Structure 1
Amino acid sequence: MSVKIRLQRHGKKQRPFYWIVAADARSKRDGKFLEKLGTYNPNTNPATIDLNLDQAVQWLHNGAQPTDTARAILSYKGALLKHHLDGGVRKGALTQEAADAKLTAWIDEKSGKVDAKKEGLTKKQQEVRAVALKAEKVANEKRANAAVEAAKVEEVVEETEAEVVAEETPEVEAVAEETPAAEEASEEKEA
């Protein structure tokens, strides 16, 4: 039986989530598997990988062949390096302590690079937010200035209308005064 270390897809449409599994090469992609080795979530930036390093290396020692994507993930997490170093220990080229020290140094260097990438992404997001906040403040100031100017224009229009109404009001009163006299005259003519 040929064993492969491969990805088994889970998750929703457009939101994949993978299990890293050791499975018989003849089984379906999402079918039976022998052992779950970890998870891989490509939706986050950087991708989140949770891998049981010892189990993965044990399967590699037993002859499991990783697929291309699984090989990249195992390499990223250090499983292939540990498998390689264990081979050197078996041949007598290294001691177990030296192999563990090399693996630890490599993992520390790798985690430093990942942390630097996360910090860079965080800084970039903060810069984008700062630019958006400045643009929003400018837009709010323009909107507030436009509202103040509109209020001034309305006041000027109201004052102008009030002056026009004040000028027209005496004429209306004079017409109103003439109207009762005209009514009296018309009443006298009828009588």
Structure 2
Amino acid sequence: MPVKIRLQRHGKKGKPFYWIVAADARAKRDGRFLEKLGIYNPNTNPATIDINVDNSVKWLENGAQPTDTARAILSYKGVMLKKHLAGGVKKGALTEEQAEEKFNAWLAEKEAKINAKKDGLTKAKEEAKAAALAAEKEVNEKRNAVAVEEAAEEVAEETTEAVAEETAAVEEAPVTEEAPAEEAPVEEAAPEAEASAEETKEEAAE
């Protein structure tokens, strides 16, 4: 029975994720399978891949043929490398310890690259967020400056209008001239009073 390692589609419309399965080549793509080897989720960045390396190597050694996409995923996770190293162990070219050491070194290097990519994506996201915040702050500052300027113009207009109204009211008011104060008439001393005063002086002299 020819066996293929391929992707089986799951998920909803527009956001699919896949199972990596070993299945009969004659079975439908999303039909029955012999073993589930892992998952592949392309909706994340970087893509999420979780695969059973040892079981995948066993299927490959037993003659299973991966599809092009499945081969790329297996190679990305080191399955093809481990199969190659296992072949070298069988031929006596290297020991199992050496093969395991090489595989672990490859995994460490691959993990470092993935982490560097994640860090780069995180940094780029933070920089984009900071730039968006700076742009929003600049827009808000401009908006506030315009609002202050408009408020100042309104106050200036109101002040100008008030001054104009006050000036117009002063110009329209009638000017009232004050009448000069009348001098009080000086009363002339009565002749009788003068005569009595003279008589009083004469009596005092006697």
- Alignment TM-score, normalising by the size of structure 1: 0.84
Residue aligning to 2:124: 124
2:42 matched to 1:39?
no
Aligned residues: 174
CA RMSD of aligned residues (A): 1.8
Residue aligning to 2:96: 96
SS at 1:9 equivalent? strand
Residue aligning to 2:9: 9
- Structure 1 window deviating more from structure 2 (127-136 vs 24-33): it is 127-136
Residue aligning to 1:86: 86
1:42, 1:86 → 2: CA distance?
29
Residue-by-residue CA offset, 1:20-39 (whole Å, 9 max, x unaligned) = 11111111111111111111
Structure 1 residue 164: deviation in Å?
Answer: 3.8
Residue aligning to 1:157: 157
**Structure 2: 5+ residue runs without aligned partners?**
175-206
Give the 5 Å matches for 1:56-95: 56-95=56-95
SS at 1:6 equivalent? strand
Q: Which structure has more helix as a fraction of its residues?
A: 1
Identity, in percent, stands at: 66
Summarize the Cα distance change of 1:3–1:173 in structure 2 as closer, same or farther, 3 Å threshold.
farther
SS at 1:36 equivalent? strand
The runs of at least 4 consecutive aligned structure 1 residues that moved more than 2 Å come to 160-174
1:52, 1:165 → 2: CA distance?
89
Residue-by-residue CA offset, 1:124-161 (whole Å, 9 max, x unaligned) = 11222222222122111111111100110111122223
Amino acid at match of 2:121: L
2:172, 2:64 → 1: CA distance?
104
- Alignment TM-score, normalising by the size of structure 2: 0.78
1:61, 1:11 → 2: CA distance?
31
Residue aligning to 2:146: 146
1:23, 1:92 → 2: CA distance?
32
Q: Which protein has the larger Cα radius of gyration, Structure 1 or Structure 2?
A: 2
Structure 1 residue 53: deviation in Å?
Answer: 1.0
Amino acid at match of 1:78: G
